[in-house]
Amino acid sequence: MSEEIKKFLYLNRRAPYGTIYAWEALEVVLIGAAFDQDVSLAFFDDGVYQIVKGQDTAGIGMKNFSPTYSALGDYEVTKLYVEKESLEERGLTVDDLMPLKWEDEDEDWAEKDSIRLVSREELARIIDEQDVVFSF
Amino acid sequence: MSELHIVNKSPFEKSSFDSCMSHVLEGSAVLLFEDGIYAATSGTAAAEKVKSAPGVKFYVLGPDLKARGLSEERVTDGVEIVDYARFVDLAEEHDKVVSWV
C-alpha cells in the first residue's frame, strides 16, 4: 500500500476501572498500531489517572491493564501527551506516573521518555494538527 | 436519622460528589468508592470540601484506592480507609444508604 501516513490522536479523558473507556481505548490503539500510521495519545482530565504508577487491582477482582501502557513503545506508539493542568488539579506530578519509555532504533536503541508534558494550550494545538481524532 | 451517603463517581467528571456535599447533614457519613475515591485525595478541590465539612464522617474504600495506584499517604486527613466488610457494617449501622450515582 502506498497510502499517505495520517496523524491519529487518541484522547483519553476517563479514569481506569470505574468505566470501560480506558481499557477500550488501549485495545483500539493496539489494533490501530498495526496500520503504520503516525499515532499519538493524549491523557487529560481524569485520563491522567490511567497512567498513575503502582496500580494493584487484586482487591477489586479486575484485570490490571496498566502494564500494557509500557508495551506501547514496542508498537511504535511513542508520543504520549500528558496535560500539566490536569495533573495539577488532581494533586499529581509527573513523578506519580509510570516511567513509560520507548527504544529508538535509529540511535542504537537508546531509551527515551514517551511521556511529553504539555500545557492545555499546547494540547489544543496538537489536536488541531491531527487528521483523525478518536475520543474515549 | 443518620445517612450513609455513597459516591462512586469522580468529582472531576460528575457533579455527584458536589451535590452529595451540598446535601449531607452533620452526624451523617460519606463513603467514597470506585471512581469516587479521587475525592478523598489531597491536593484537589474535593479535599477542601472534605476538610470544611465538620460533623461529617468520611470513609474511602481501600481496595479501590490500591487498584488506582493511590497510596494511603495521598488520602486527605480525617478520611478513614475501610475494607468491604466495614462498608457492609456501615450500611447496617446507618438508618439508610443514599447513593449518588
Whether the Cβ atoms of residue B100 and residue B7 lie closer than 8 Å to each other:
yes
What lies within 8 Å, CB to CB, of A113 at 6+ separation is A99, A100, A101
Looking at the partner chain, which of B10, B41, B63 has a beta carbon nearest the beta carbon of A91? B41
Look at residues B49, B29, B27 and name the one whose alpha carbon lies nearest to residue B39.
Answer: B49
Phi, psi of A107 (to 5 degrees): -125, 50
- At B30 the three-state DSSP class reads strand
What is the domain extent for residue B8? 3-100
Evaluate whether residue A24 is within a structural domain. yes
Looking at the partner chain, which of A14, A55, A90 has a beta carbon nearest the beta carbon of B67? A55
Evaluate whether residue A38 is within a structural domain. yes
Amino acid symbol at A112: K
pLDDT for the residue numbered A88? 98
Q: How far is CA B41 from CA A117, B3, B70, B77, in A?
A: 22, 23, 8, 9
pLDDT for the residue numbered A1? 52
Residues forming beta bridges with residue A133, ordered by sequence position: A9
Whether the Cβ atoms of residue B84 and residue B90 lie closer than 8 Å to each other:
no
> How many domains, chain B?
1
Evaluate whether residue A1 is within a structural domain. no
* Chain B interface, Cβ < 8 Å to A: 8-10, 12-13, 34-35, 38, 41-45, 47, 62-64, 66-71, 74
What CATH number has the domain bearing residue B96? 3.40.1260.10
Task: Say how far residue A42 (Cα) sits from the centre of its chain.
Answer: 6
Q: Where are the alpha helices (DSSP H) in B1-101?
A: 16-23, 45-51, 62-67, 84-93
Pairing of β A132-135 and β A7-12: parallel
pLDDT for the residue numbered A34? 86
How far, in Å, CA of B31 to CA of B29, rounded? 7
What CATH number has the domain bearing residue A42? 3.40.1260.10
How distant is the Cα of B10 from the closest Cα of chain A, in angstroms?
A: 8
Rounded (10°) CA dihedral B73, B76, B78, B79: -90
With vertex at residue B70, the alpha carbon angle to CA A95 and CA A123, rounded to the nearest 5 degrees, is 50
What is the domain extent for residue A117? 7-135
> How many domains, chain A?
1
Evaluate whether residue A56 is within a structural domain. yes
Amino acid symbol at B47: A
pLDDT for the residue numbered A2? 54
pLDDT tens readout for residues B22-74 = 999 999 999 999 999 999 999 999 999 999 998 999 999 999 999 999 999 99
pLDDT by 10s per residue, chain A, length 136: 557 899 999 999 999 999 999 999 999 999 988 888 999 999 999 999 999 999 999 999 999 999 999 999 999 999 999 999 999 999 999 999 999 999 999 999 999 999 999 999 999 999 999 999 999 9
ipTM: 0.90
Nearest CA in chain A to B43: A91
* Chain A interface, Cβ < 8 Å to B: 14-19, 45-46, 49, 52-60, 62, 64, 66, 89-92, 96
Q: Which of B6, B8, B12 to mutate to test the interface with A (most CBs of A within 10 A)?
A: B12
Is the pLDDT at B85 greater than 90? The verdict is yes
Evaluate whether residue A2 is within a structural domain. no
pTM for the model stands at: 0.93
First to last CA, chain B: 22
How distant is the Cα of A95 from the closest Cα of chain B, in angstroms?
A: 13
CB contact under 8 A, A17 and B10: no
Looking at the partner chain, which of A53, A62, A91 has a beta carbon nearest the beta carbon of B67? A62
Phi, psi of B30 (to 5 degrees): -125, 125
Evaluate whether residue A91 is within a structural domain. yes
Looking at the partner chain, which of B47, B62, B68 has a beta carbon nearest the beta carbon of A49? B68
Is the pLDDT at B18 greater than 90? The verdict is yes
